[in-house]
A and B are shown apart, each in its own frame.
Chain A
Amino acid sequence: MAASTLLLTKELPTLDYSATTERFDMTWEAPLSTLLGLGRAAGADFVEFFLERVNYISCLAEEDLITSISPKLSTGAGVRVFLGKADCYVSTNDLSFNGLKAALEKALSIMGLSLPSPNAYVPEIYLELLRDYAIAKGKDAWLDECSSIQEMGDILLATSDQLQKKGSHIQSRRAVYFRDWQEVLVAASDGTFARDIRLTQSVGCNLLCADGEHRTSNGLRDGNTSDPDFLRNWNYDHATNNVSEAAGNMLYADYVESGTYPIVMANHFGGVIFHEACGHLLETTQIERQTTPFIDKKGEKIAHENLTAWDEGRSEDAFGTIDMDDEGMPTQRTLLIENGVLKNFISDRAGSMRTGHPRTGSGRRQSYAYAAASRMRNTYIAPGDCSVEDIFNSIEKGIYCKKMGGGSVGPTGEFNFGVDEAYLIENGKVTKPLKGAILIGEAKEIMNKLSMCSQDLSLAPGFCGSISGSIYVTVGQPHIKVDSITVGGR
């Protein structure tokens, strides 16, 4: 049944909405436009519904056994109500019309509003023609085209077997995979009506080696969005070579001597430094909280002139790629820093409303349990003019951070991240392996010390936890030089 402009609230109980729960399609237009109309009639300035279905599975191989197959099925919705610049978010598992209406009513009551009286008119919200990225890009078949449980098991066991053959002093070996299929529908009182399907997959392996008191744990993870054949085509031979070699190098590594060093950060996951040290501070949520030193720096130089950086959602198959954000906005390619000058912030709807920075298609969330917030997508430092050799040759004594661990940035702009695989640089040459290094710095200072960028940009998958939950992102960079940074060690 289509919503009518002359609908009275007392007629609501007689409506027979029959939206399908098997997929989010046009049958959702009538109930959602009615609910949005109810929210507006109650006095809300803006109302948004986010509906989500998830079909997730993970698989774990340990030694020569599959020890875990974990499917998760989830459906839910969230309703966000704005009154002025204040907002409220209510989530529920109940996707029936009455369930969504109850969630709306709760959100309205929290904002001091109530559903209109029985004889009040419900204004129709004219939703746009469903913008269906799933149909436009043929995503509806993705779930069926993904690897079967049997295939998952076979590939992970083959990976674990390769680790056994290539490694030495092995204490344990693991291979892991997950597939996260997500269907989302966004409808808002400004007419937004959009649907998408996301398919995120990740596979990796890990080796724990021990010889007496010497221990090392090394791993690798690859990721993809939008390729159902990703696992089938995964090059586990390359991955296991990489992990085994790293474990061999690091098993007998010395602890790094703490101090201040120039460092070279490898491309690929080395990009986590920019993600933590700068990317988070360019999210409008940080402006709202006044926890970024870059609040009023748009148009000003905040980094070394050799540094240009992007955040975008459009690189094909990258881990942070999305066709639309979780507020229904098509994703963009956003220039963050150009030759050291701050050009743009990363903004969602609420961030735009509260800070004035335009939306960038960056409203993201882990699931319906969270309101969207300004979050990064594929974030990376652009290639520069130097060669990798130029960078190493500029260092007499320093540290080569070949593989980064995770990191974080605090409310004062101080950041830190661990280095999983590090080497000493002496006179431009990589010499002995080092372990136990953690890099510590302050965003404002470090940005001016990123002085050299090579040409070998490479992207790596990552997981970013923040205000709207854990989301899939890409970090990336070419090889870069940081002139000096504090390295914590022994």
Chain B
Amino acid sequence: MQVKELANYTSEIAQKLGIRKYDIYGSSADSTSVQVDRGDPKQVKAANRSTVIVRVWNDDQKVGVTTTTDVDPKGIELALSTAKEASTFGVTEYAPDFSPEATKPLPEVSFERFDPVGVPDLIERLVGAEKEILEAHRAIASVPYNGLSQQDIDRFYLNSEGALREEARTYAALYLYTKTEQEGKKPRSAGSFRMSHGLKTLDVNGCVKEATEKTISHLNYQKIPSGKYRVVFSGEAFLSLLGAFSNLFNAQSILDKQSLSTPDSLGTQIASPLLSVYDDALHPENVGAETFDGEGTPTQRTPLITEGVLSGFLHSTGTAKRLNMKPTGHANIGAKVTVSPHFYHVSAAQPAQEDYTLEDAENVVFIDDLSALHAGVSALQGSFSLPFDGWLVNKGERISVDSATIAGDFRDLLKSIIFVEKELELTPGGVCPRIWVDNLSVTGE
């Protein structure tokens, strides 16, 4: 997509339609992905698609919006006129406006971009990875969910006051999920995911190793008695929960009363003083780093929890204005602007009274992965009840836990943290160490 060309003809069309104020956020992506099945390519997909979202302000400063995949002049004209029509029904109270930071300089971030490789190369790499896993243990019967993809994405923001930002990234991603078959035993499954800027730097070996080791570690399993346990969350599992309850820091949710926090919660102790959390789009480990949000505001490191105290919210231009704060670069434009995190950075804030290790711990549940978050999380009540993959750990010995759930209240969980390890685990949603929590309910048998 030629953004400057699009900006030019959008300006001409807007003038023709009598539209004086508008902005557009959009992206175009070129992607290829492959899946394999026992050595053969199963399905290959390729796509070249664009989407833009157009906002138009009418003379009463009410906003209308339209999303379209048709970005030629004809499509943009239809989108602008539809948005203009929708603006009649726009809100008058707290109507969105341009970000005052949409023309500020962006942080300088350099990313390596890679040319796409051919489909045969993708298939060969994935077939090789699948083969390695299948040969690692005879119980591993298949890798039913697998995929290797590469993507070239351009995104941009422009508005009628001359703002124009664009950035381009390339990505490669790999996922491998196994399934075992053993006589007299239940099938078991485990997986791994890796992402990078290109196939050349993608950690295929690491992904294979992790998927294999996790699968083997689940072969011997047992039910555990229901009860209260000391629980250790992997970085990925903790970030899953944090993400599910992100309304705690989401200024739009707070203003909509769809949050566990209120504007007055800022400055209150919501977690153990051992815990600090930031959102940091520009974290060096964030493969998907974006330098500006949907309103063109530069992204930035935003403190959310500092030593257990709620220290910040994620903002759009509108929420920041209403709460007398600064936008933080977390907006997604739409008829209603929404707010979402980019990349969490969870870390230990204070030294704990006691250090714990899985090698020494007795009868703790180590949760590697939580599932069914869409079904088992009541984000507005604060409660969760979730199936998990994990192990019962006794002095370094791990036995896989069969069919169990963990339940609790997320606010209680945050306050029951007894230890935050130092070593960070990299996940697609952020970096986070293992988090130790006392007294959580586990349902087994």
B43 contacts across to A, CB distance below 8 A = 86-89, 371
Q: What 0/1 readout, one digit per residue, does chain B (132-161) give for beta carbons within 8 Å of chain A? A: 000000000110110000000000000000
Q: What 0/1 readout, one digit per residue, does chain A (51-82) give for beta carbons within 8 Å of chain B? A: 00000000010100111111111111000000
Q: Are A490 and B408 in contact (CB under 8 A)?
A: yes
Say if the beta carbon of B103 comes within 8 Å of chain A. Answer: no
Pairs across A and B, CB under 8 Å, 30 listed: A69-B64, A70-B334, A71-B86, A72-B68, A73-B79, A74-B68, A76-B49, A86-B40, A88-B45, A91-B45, A91-B46, A93-B48, A93-B69, A93-B70, A110-B44, A150-B89, A208-B257, A215-B382, A260-B445, A290-B179, A406-B374, A412-B179, A412-B189, A414-B387, A416-B376, A418-B376, A435-B383, A486-B405, A489-B443, A490-B408
Q: Are A258 and B443 in contact (CB under 8 A)?
A: yes
B86 contacts across to A, CB distance below 8 A = 69, 71, 149
Binding site for A on B (CB under 8 A): 32, 37, 40-50, 64-71, 75, 78-79, 82-83, 86, 88-91, 93, 119, 141-142, 144-145, 177, 179, 186-189, 226, 256-258, 334-336, 371-372, 374-376, 378, 380-383, 385-387, 403-408, 441, 443, 445
- Min distance, Cβ A108 to any Cβ of chain B, angstroms: 11
Among the listed A86, A369, A440, which residue makes an inter-chain contact with B405, where contact means beta carbons less than 8 Å apart?
A440
- Min distance, Cβ B292 to any Cβ of chain A, angstroms: 22
Q: How far is the CA of A417 from the CA of B46 in the complex (A)?
A: 34
Q: Are B45 and A290 in contact (CB under 8 A)?
A: no
Report the number of A-B residue pairs with Cβ-Cβ less than 8 Å: 218
Q: Are A405 and B375 in contact (CB under 8 A)?
A: yes
B381 contacts across to A, CB distance below 8 A = 215-217, 435
Q: Are A437 and B385 in contact (CB under 8 A)?
A: yes
Number of interface residues of A (CB under 8 A): 70
Q: How far is the CA of A487 from the CA of B444 in the complex (A)?
A: 9
**Among A93, A103, A106, A217, residue most surrounded by chain B Cβ atoms (within 10 Å):** A93
Instruction: Given A65-B91, A172-B257, decide whether A89 and B45 contact each other with a Cβ distance below 8 A.
Output: yes
Besides A72-B66, A215-B380, A412-B189, 7 new A-B residue pairs in contact (Cβ under 8 A), listed by A number:
A70-B65, A89-B44, A149-B88, A150-B89, A408-B375, A486-B443, A488-B404
- SS of A interface (majority): strand
A216 contacts across to B, CB distance below 8 A = 381
- Min distance, Cβ B123 to any Cβ of chain A, angstroms: 10
Q: Are A73 and B70 in contact (CB under 8 A)?
A: yes
Instruction: Given A76-B49, A442-B403, decide whether A410 and B189 contact each other with a Cβ distance below 8 A.
Output: yes
Q: Are B46 and A72 in contact (CB under 8 A)?
A: no
Q: A420's closest neighbor in chain B, by CB?
A: B378
Binding site for B on A (CB under 8 A): 60, 62, 65-76, 86-94, 103, 106-107, 110-111, 149-150, 153, 171-172, 208, 215-217, 255, 258-260, 288-291, 369, 371, 405-408, 410-414, 416-418, 435-438, 440, 442, 486-490
Q: A404's closest neighbor in chain B, by CB?
A: B375
